[in-house]
Amino acid sequence: MTIARLHTAYREIRRATEALCGGLSAEDCALQSMPDASPVKWHLAHTSWFFETFVLEPGLRGYRPFHPHFKVLYNSYYVGVGERHPRPERGLLSRPSLADVHAYRAHVDAHVARWADAARADDATLRVFELGLHHEQQHQELIVTDLKHLLSRNPLRPAYVPAQPDAPPEPAQVEWIAFPAGVREIGHAGEGFCFDNEQPRHRVYLDAFRLASRLVTNREYLAFVEDDGYRRPELWLSDGWDACVAQRWTTPLYWEDADGRRQIFAASGMQELALDQPVCHVSFYEADAYARWAGARLPMEAEWETAAADVPQAGNFAESRRFQPVPTSRGAGLQQMFGDVWEWTASAYLGYPGYRPAAGAVGEYNGKFMVNQFVLRGGSCATPQSHIRASYRNFFPPAARWQFSGIRLARENRS
């Protein structure tokens, strides 16, 4: 991709980030509801820090950083770059102000324009710049998920976006789509962008399997809850049961009981639990326990990618700005594999055979997290559409619940 096209994409992505923050107060942008989440203000600054650190400082002659302290305050986990402000204390950064952060973004934008006009970047620099674009899209999604968690902790239960009534749901019966045994290829193919953890493309052997045609719904998950699913240790992995007990899980995150009625906190505030929406905000442990209760299992990521390879990435993107899953629809074949909820797989997050992280600090982007995490696939209603592809490997610790994560079941296909 040329510098001109990358710079056009840069401007569009930066505007999209700002649009996510429209209507938020300075207080909304400053608070941190838990160590895993970050304030909106921090996301706005960190995404600018990435371009300043990895593009402008090494690539624009005479560039002077906006503020010397920002190098530490907005470094996330790049040990090779230097010191970092503790992640759990990002919400204590009342200064710099939100206005200062917006000034920082404007400063970086202006100098990126100068860098783009210079037109002297080599291929390696362009790849880092493109990585920065997708990095910002990841933080767009994190802005939504982190802000939703923050607002859920407010007793006023404020809405982030207006409520939009769903069309009458048309529940689809689950079909079990069969895939024969054989050798398949997975991993990114083609010339487009991918993260380093999506390569190299390689062969895997898969036994015959079946994949559920649609995601598990709230109605189906509610049956697990009402069957004492959260009080039956035989359904849970040992570590998952310990997490369930220690954190007192009884339902997915954001579910509540109000005078005997099931409600859920959504991006549009409190609402009745929509039974035909995909269940969302469940951990790997909950997904695995539900699958066992349902007489099924979670798919391996190679199975998921094999199934998704021929599914159009149209999905429900037209409705995704509501930042909640949409009701399941009637139809045949695989449904909703992209852009609804991230789908837990049974695969540990590891490097593919022959994987090598990039040299230097930017190589810390993915590789060093390949431990104690599980892979999710497919993107969610908070994922930018242009950021989703069949080979994309998201990853989170198995107890994480604040992401838009849900369940698709798999089974063996034994004759």
CATH topology identical between 3-152 and 176-412: no
Question: Which residue in this structure is represented by tokens 């610790």?
Answer: 397
Q: How many CB atoms neighbour CB 304 within 10 A? A: 26
What secondary structure, in 3-state letters, does 318-374 show?
A: HHHHHCCCCCCCCCCCCCCCCCECEEEEEEECCCCCCCCCCCCHHHHCCHHHCCCCE
The whole-number pLDDT of residue 136 equals: 98
Residue-range domain boundaries for the chain: 3-152, 176-412
Q: Span 163-186, mean pLDDT?
A: 84
176-412 in CATH: which number? 3.90.1580.10
Spatial contact of 3 and 121, defined as CB atoms under 8 Å apart = yes
Long-range contacts of range 153-157, CB-CB < 8 Å, 24 or more positions apart?
153/33, 157/265, 157/269, 157/270
The whole-number pLDDT of residue 317 equals: 47
Query: Is the per-residue pLDDT at 397 higher than 80?
Result: yes
pLDDT tier for residue 334 given thresholds of 50, 70 and 90: confident
The whole-number pLDDT of residue 142 equals: 98
CATH class assigned to 3-152: mainly alpha
* DSSP symbol at 382: T
Complete DSSP assignment for 58-75? HHSTT---S-TTHHHHT-
pTM: 0.95
Residues above pLDDT 70, as percent of the chain: 94
pLDDT tier for residue 163 given thresholds of 50, 70 and 90: confident
**Tokens of residue 155, six digits:** 């007793």
